[in-house]
Structure formats: structure tokens, C-alpha cells
């Protein structure tokens, strides 16, 4: 059967990209850090942004060497106040690697974002390899199933539902299915997830219809319940709750230590 296409769009204008790069350069100068990697997270990265969606810029940076040599640890995040529709913040590399050790799905998604604003190609590639090699299917699976449960419980049981909340449940459910099927780290792009995990043409048509409306409507737009999608979510969550991948071997963390050591010597001195 021919694979059904799934709608997707990742809109970032040249003007906004320039604004993001200008902000990143200013943050590097202000905080005396080096940005290794910066991407778009959230709905623009997932591929279903509304016209009024924020730009969720996330980055990983390296501090100067003295920052890592203090008895009391310093603040390991950089956050800018939201300015209009630009939301930008980042994590210090040591914090990022600590989270990577735990297979943090948020960081794994950043590293797989289709929208990369800035990166050191060699170091970003090595970071992605570390993420893949150390991925824990069980940790990732439980994260996505818990996220789907929470969003379903909090947002989808009313008679009127915000369009985006369906996608906030569908996306983690399909990521969990991806892991359950033994495919490793799930892709960030919702279109890739849906096209490779959903096999019911009628359901795919319904998902595409939802995406089409969501990508035209505002972030707060609502509609009556989408029955076919809601029924699928209930059944899929029951399936996800009943099954989980095995734990697998604990990843060797020494490569993460080596990476941190080399990166700080390269960029922090």
C-alpha cells in the first residue's frame, strides 16, 4: 500500500533566523560562553505550528574553564525573558550531558530538530552519536506514555478541545509506539512519526485534516471533539500502558566525560 503523506511545515523566515542568530551572539558575549548547538523546539520543530506560534529556540553551550572549577556549582541555564514571540534559553554542556545520561527525551528531540540555527558541525555530530549510543528505550518510553496520559487527562475530556492538544497527546503516543516497535530514538518531526507508525488510511486522513486546521488557526482555537482521533488515543494509550520495552544494558558514561573534558578545553580556555 502506498504510504500516505502527512502534512508538515517548519516556517522560519530569513528575517527571524537572523534575529535568532543576533540574540545567540549577544548571549555568547554577555555570558562569555560558546554555543555548540541551537535549534527550534516546540511546534515549529514538530512541524505543525500555527500562524501565531512562538519561536522556541533552545541551545547547548560551553562555559569558560573557571566556571567548572568552583566548589559551589554555578547556574547552568541561560534564559532570556520572552520577547514578543521569541522564547530563547539554553543549557550548559555539563547539565545537558547529565540529562543525556538519563536519555532525556527533550534533549534528544533538540538534537533531532529539523530547524538548526547554529552548530559546530563536528561537535554537534559527536553529541548526536552519544545520544543515540546511550539511549534507554525504557526511560524514553515511560516519559512519552506519562506525557500522553497527563495531556489526555488535562485537556481532551471536554466537549470542546483545543486543536493543538490532540497533537500534544498523539505525538508522545506515536513516539512510544516507535520505541515499542524497536526503532530506537523517535524522530522529532510529527509527520515522520505519523507516516511510519499509523497504518489506517482513514485515521491518517483525519490526522491530516486536524493538521490542516491547526496550521491555519490560532494557538487557542478550539473545536468539538474529533471522535475518530479520540477513540484511537484511548485505544493506543491502553496498548502503551500494557506493554513496555525491556530495560537493556546501562550505557557506559565515560564517553560523556571525555566529551565534556575535550569540549571545555577546546572552547572554554
What pLDDT, in 10s, does the model give residues 175-221? 999 999 999 999 999 999 999 999 999 999 999 999 999 999 888 89
Helix axes 93-101, 121-133, angle to 10 degrees: 20
Can you say how many angstroms the Cα of residue 112 is from the centroid of all Cα atoms in its chain?
8
Residue 145 has pLDDT above 90, yes or no: yes
Q: What is the pLDDT of residue 248?
A: 66
Q: What is the pLDDT of residue 249?
A: 65
Helices (H) and strands (E) in the chain — how many of each?
Answer: 11, 7
User: pLDDT confidence of 59, banded at 50, 70, 90?
Assistant: very high
Q: How far apart are CA 136 and CA 103, in angstroms?
A: 6
Residue 87 has pLDDT above 70, yes or no: yes
Q: How far apart are CA 122 and CA 262, in angstroms?
A: 13
pLDDT above 70 coverage of the chain, percent: 97
* More confident site: 246 or 142: 142
Q: What is the pLDDT of residue 1?
A: 35
- The closest of 35, 52, 36 to 44, measured between CA atoms, is 52
Q: How far apart are CA 90 and CA 77, in angstroms?
A: 6
Q: What is the pLDDT of residue 245?
A: 82
Q: What fold does the segment set 14-135+252-267 form as a domain?
A: Beta Polymerase; domain 2 (3.30.460)
Average pLDDT of the chain, as a whole number: 93
Q: What is the pLDDT of residue 246?
A: 76
Amino acid at each position: 500500500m502506498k504510504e500516505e503523506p502527512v502534512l508538515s511545515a517548519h516556517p522560519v523566515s530569513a528575517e527571524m533566523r537572523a534575529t535568532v542568530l543576533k540574540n545567540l551572539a549577544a548571549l555568547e558575549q554577555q555570558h562569555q560562553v560558546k554555543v555548540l548547538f541551537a535549534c527550534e523546539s516546540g511546534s515549529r520543530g514538530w512541524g505543525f505550528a500555527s500562524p501565531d506560534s512562538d519561536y522556541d529556540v533552545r541551545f547547548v553551550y560551553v562555559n569558560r574553564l573557571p566556571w567548572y572549577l568552583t566548589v559551589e556549582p554555578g547556574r547552568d541555564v541561560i534564559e532570556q525573558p520572552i520577547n514578543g514571540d521569541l522564547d530563547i534559553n539554553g543549557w550548559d554542556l555539563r547539565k545537558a550531558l547529565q540529562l543525556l545520561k538519563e536519555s532525556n527525551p527533550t534533549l534528544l528531540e533538540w538534537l533531532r530538530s529539523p530547524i538548526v540555527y547554529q552548530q559546530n558541525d563536528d561537535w554537534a555530530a559527536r553529541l548526536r552519536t552519544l545520544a543515540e549510543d546511550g539511549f534507554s528505550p525504557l526511560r524514553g518510553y515511560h516519559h512519552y506514555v506519562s506525557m500522553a496520559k497527563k495531556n489526555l487527562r488535562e485537556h481532551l475530556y471536554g466537549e470542546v478541545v483545543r486543536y493543538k492538544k490532540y497533537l500534544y497527546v498523539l505525538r508522545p503516543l506515536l513516539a512510544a509506539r516507535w520505541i515499542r516497535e524497536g526503532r530506537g530514538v523517535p524522530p522529532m518531526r510529527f509527520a515522520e512519526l505519523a507516516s511510519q507508525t499509523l497504518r489506517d488510511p482513514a485515521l491518517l486522513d483525519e490526522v491530516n485534516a486536524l493538521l490542516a486546521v491547526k496550521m491555519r488557526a490560532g494557538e487557542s482555537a478550539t473545536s468539538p471533539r474529533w471522535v475518530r482521533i479520540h477513540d484511537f488515543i484511548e485505544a493506543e494509550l491502553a496498548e502503551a500502558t500494557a506493554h513496555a520495552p525491556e530495560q537493556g544494558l546501562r550505557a557506559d558514561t565515560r564517553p560523556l566525560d571525555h566529551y565534556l573534558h575535550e569540549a571545555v578545553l577546546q572552547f572554554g580556555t
